[in-house]
């Protein structure tokens, strides 16, 4: 993760500043964690190229660590590096270490095919068959499929930023126009694809998570969502080198009420990853489990309201609002931290994790002069997120 370590800064923290490329909108100071035990933490709001995100600044062993915020995300990673460098320059930091240097690139990755989740919720529309690859890694398989099937619209899902940038470079070099990329959790993403629209879903060599099985992509909910978006005879295709993962998924699939399952061992594909080549040389088995869809489903509605309509007296509630988790049967809420925005009354950030237990969502609520909204974008329109949002509105009235 890009970051800068420094031992002092010669100017006050910049809370409102603009130059040709960057705008620093505010600095928010941690309310809960500013004490003798926990060190002070700051959130710095940055705007660059119409993208708004946060940087984190905190004490570290009598030094200061400036890094990207773990909740807010922005791509490409170079934007984060540039913003860290610019802020360190603005406060005249005495830098001890930095991994944010810029290097010239022969090919600058295009952002034309990198889409935010809002695009798929509000604007995505195609008459082409859709195929989805979850966790495309180096992108070798996805690029091969896109070249071989130019009339298919491919969507690649990946949360590893360097992998995304590597794929986007290759999309540009190979002049492909049928790949869209999204940095998002696949377990949530599929809820925003219309029913019966997808020909294939590829899940090749997912992380097995042997010690944390709840983090696996495959679950009853994931499989049911895959069946909803698959068209008739569409397929959900798992390829793994892990016997434990193979057994786990096979058990889930064989407990379905309907569907056709095909299993292969050491099947050769036209394209393979460097890791697969290595595993085959080591004599490891490669397992394929393919589920074919034999049903059609109705479309789902995504018309949910995630606004805060009433004024919030933040200066009053910040000292009394509970940070103890609220746990209900089908959702939860946990306020992680509270921040006050310097120089502004009734303004701050609430860091909160909420939603369903197996797919929690971390967000910030930005309160500016009593007016509240979600920072960066709205929560995903799921029923558990909506219930949590309505409960949050009740909590913020107090």
Nearest by Cα to 380 from 280, 304, 318, 313: 304
Whole-Å CA distances, 373 to 19, 250, 306, 311, 345: 26, 43, 8, 11, 16
Band the pLDDT of 37: cuts 50, 70, 90.
Answer: very low
pLDDT in tens, 39-92: 689 999 999 888 899 999 998 778 999 999 989 988 778 899 999 999 999 899
Quote the Cα angle for 74-213-353, to 5°.
45
Q: How many CA atoms lie within 13 A of 3 on its CB side?
A: 15
Burial class (CB in 10 A: 0-12, 13-18, 19+), 24: buried
Alpha-carbon distance 80 to 85, whole Å? 9
Question: pLDDT by residue (tens digit) across 131-144?
Answer: 999 999 989 999 99
Record the pTM: 0.64
Q: For residues 161-183, give the mean pLDDT.
A: 93
303-330: per-residue pLDDT in tens? Answer: 689 999 899 999 999 988 988 999 998 8
Rounded average pLDDT over 344-370: 92
Distances (CA, A) of 323 to 32, 52, 58, 66, 260: 9, 26, 21, 26, 47
Q: Residue 215: its pLDDT value, please?
A: 83
Q: What is the mean pLDDT of the chain?
A: 88
What are the C-alpha distances in Å from 193 to residues 106, 115, 179, 212, 237?
36, 14, 16, 28, 18
């Amino acid at each position: 993760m890009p970051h800068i370590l420094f031992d002092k800064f010669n100017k006050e923290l910049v809370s409102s500043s603009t130059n040709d490329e960057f705008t620093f909108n505010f600095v928010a100071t941690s309310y809960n964690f500013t004490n003798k035990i926990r060190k002070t933490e700051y959130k710095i709001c940055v705007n660059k190229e119409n993208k708004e995100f946060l940087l984190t600044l905190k004490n570290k062993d009598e030094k200061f660590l400036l890094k990207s915020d773990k909740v807010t995300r922005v791509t490409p990673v170079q934007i984060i590096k540039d913003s860290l460098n610019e802020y360190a320059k603005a406060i005249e930091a005495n830098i001890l270490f930095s991994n944010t240097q810029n290097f010239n690139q022969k090919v600058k990755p295009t952002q034309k095919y990198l889409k935010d989740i809002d695009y798929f919720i509000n604007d995505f529309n195609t008459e082409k068959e859709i195929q989805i690859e979850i966790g495309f890694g180096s992108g070798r398989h996805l690029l091969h499929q896109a070249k071989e099937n130019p009339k298919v619209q491919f969507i690649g899902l990946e949360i590893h930023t360097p992998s995304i940038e590597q794929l986007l470079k290759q999309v540009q070099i190979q002049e492909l126009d049928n790949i869209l990329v999204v940095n998002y959790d696949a377990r949530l993403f599929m809820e925003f694809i219309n029913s019966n629209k997808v020909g294939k879903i590829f899940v090749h060599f997912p992380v097995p998570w042997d010690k944390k099985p709840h983090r696996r992509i495959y679950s009853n909910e994931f499989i049911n969502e895959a069946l909803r978006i698959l068209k008739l005879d569409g397929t959900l295709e798992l390829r793994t080198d892990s016997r434990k993962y193979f057994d786990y998924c096979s058990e889930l699939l064989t407990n379905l009420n309907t569907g056709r399952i095909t299993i292969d061992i050491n099947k050769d594909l036209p394209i393979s990853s460097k890791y697969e080549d290595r595993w085959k040389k080591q004599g490891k088995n490669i397992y394929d489990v393919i589920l074919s869809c034999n049903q059609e489903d109705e479309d789902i509605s995504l018309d949910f309201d995630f606004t805060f309509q009433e004024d919030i007296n933040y200066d009053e509630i910040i000292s009394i609002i509970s940070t103890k988790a609220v746990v209900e049967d089908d959702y939860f809420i946990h306020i992680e931290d509270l921040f006050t925005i310097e120089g502004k009354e009734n303004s701050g950030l609430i860091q909160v994790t909420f939603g369903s237990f197996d797919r929690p969502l971390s967000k910030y609520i930005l309160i500016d002069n009593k007016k509240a909204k979600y920072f960066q974008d709205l929560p995903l329109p799921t029923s558990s997120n909506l219930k949590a949002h309505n409960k949050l509105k009740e909590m913020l009235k107090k």
